[in-house]
Amino acid sequence: MNKVSLEIIGLTYSESSTGAYVLILGDKNSQRRLPIVIGSAEAESIAVGIEKHKNGRPHTHDLFLRFAKEFGVEISEVVINRFRDGVYYAMLVCKQGDDLTMIDARPSDAIAIAVRLGCEINAYESVMEEAGIIMDDIEKPRPEAQDDVIINKGNEDTSLDMLDIEALEDLLQEAIDNEDYQRAAQIRDEINGRV
């Protein structure tokens, strides 16, 4: 399967989900973004890994890496390999001698490990096609579209199922412009569910 090389674009607090964060991964070769909602503990661990901050006591991800090192296991890559029912799945590509093993992992845990090691973060092209947000391919909102449907701009309680495709596309562009990637992912899922 074709893989897309990703980088961490940002890690922001989710205003719509209490205690959650949105990890934004970007395709290194395009404007595609992959927003992933993660827990606060995982967000903290990723941030600590990015900043190379040393704690007095190791985080779980640090402990995992020490364990792997002690037993001669090298983690060469993280791959986000599936997106199903709104949930992302990942795997760690591990080598021990000549043996190659894939270990299932939550993307947030896998990325927390990857930032500590500096190893590659990739996603299958199929995941990017299904769940990615393409920044350049979405048209700017048209003023006349606002006449058709009343939209409570920025309101998370807007019932997406009551909006037509054109209004959803306008709302999606607004969410992307405001860098509200979690909202954009919700709108994208609504649009994809109608196709």
Q: Where are the domains of the chain?
A: 3-131, 138-194
Query: Which carries the bigger pLDDT value, residue 137 or residue 167?
Result: 167
For position 169, what pLDDT does the model report?
Answer: 79
Tokens of 184: 């954009």
Rounded mean pLDDT, 72-101? 95
For position 1, what pLDDT does the model report?
Answer: 79
- Residue 134: band (very low, low, confident or very high) from pLDDT cuts 50, 70, 90: confident
Q: Is 148:164 a contact under the CB 8 Å cutoff?
A: yes
For position 167, what pLDDT does the model report?
Answer: 73
For position 103, what pLDDT does the model report?
Answer: 96
For position 96, what pLDDT does the model report?
Answer: 93
Query: Which carries the bigger pLDDT value, residue 120 or residue 185?
Result: 120
**pLDDT at 152 > cutoff 70:** no
For position 162, what pLDDT does the model report?
Answer: 59
Rounded mean pLDDT, 118-122? 96
Rg of the chain over all Cα atoms, to the nearest angstrom: 19
Half-sphere exposure of 60 (CA within 13 A, CB side): 11
Q: Please report, to the nearest 10 degrees, the dihedral formed by the alpha carbons of residues 17, 26, 174, 170 taken in order.
A: -110
Cα angle for residues 48, 52, 55 (degrees, 5° grid): 65
Q: What CATH number has the domain spanning 3-131?
A: 3.10.690.10
pTM (2 d.p.): 0.70
For position 136, what pLDDT does the model report?
Answer: 53
Please classify residue 180 by burial: count the beta carbons closer than 10 Å to its beta carbon, then call 0-12 exposed, 13-18 middle and 19+ buried: buried
- Identify any residues that bridge with 7 across adjacent strands, giving them in sequence order: 26
- Residue 148: band (very low, low, confident or very high) from pLDDT cuts 50, 70, 90: very low
**pLDDT at 46 > cutoff 80:** yes
For position 165, what pLDDT does the model report?
Answer: 78
Q: Which of 46, 41, 42 is nearest to 9 (CA)?
A: 46
Rounded mean pLDDT, 45-50? 87
